[in-house]
Every structure is written in C-alpha cells, then in structure tokens.
Amino acid sequence: MILFLGTKPGKTTSKLLQNVACPYCGNKDTLTAVTSTTYFHLFWISLFRVGSFSSISCSHCKRTYYQDEFTEEMQRGIDTRKSLEQTN
C-alpha cells in the first residue's frame, strides 16, 4: 500500500492594518499583514494545521517586518483583525 502524506500550504490572507504606523517611515495605514498556514495532509486531504507564518509590509517604504520584529502596535492590529474575522 502506498501512502501519500506530507505538508501543503493553506490559505494565504492579507489585510490592511488601519491606524497602525510604520516604525521606519512613520506613515499610517500603509502596513499590510500577510498570514500563511501550512497543513499536514494524507492522500491530499488536509488533516491539521502544522504552523503559520506572518509578515507585515509597508507599501510606502517597502520595508518588510517578520514576526520577531513586530511592535506592540502591529501585534494589536493583527489581533484586532483576527477577532473581527472570528465574529463575522
């Protein structure tokens, strides 16, 4: 019997973080959060989430921030976005 198992990328979501300023250039409403998830699959059926990856990019200065570089303001913006998605 042959088993087809492994990991595959899930949905990638991107949302504008409103009222959050870029720490580098100082402009507000220019940050976009991108979140990507990875799932374990068996016979190409996703069974459970293995991990997720988030990054934030500024559309003005083109700077990208990774999870270890998020400020408290950025993290609050992401958490607010997640709570709004869960209520809808």
Predicted local distance difference test score (pLDDT) of residue 80: 73
Of 47, 34, 35, which is closest to residue 8 (Cα–Cα)?
47
Backbone angles phi, psi at 8, to 5 degrees: -145, 155
| Confidence bin at 1 (pLDDT 50/70/90) | confident
Residue 34 near residue 54 (C-beta atoms within 8 A):
yes
Can you give the pTM of this predicted structure?
A: 0.75
11-39 pLDDT per residue, tens: 899 999 988 899 999 899 899 999 999 99
46-62 pLDDT per residue, tens: 899 999 899 999 999 99
What amino acid is encoded at 71 in this protein?
T
Of 19, 46, 49, which is closest to residue 37 (Cα–Cα)?
49
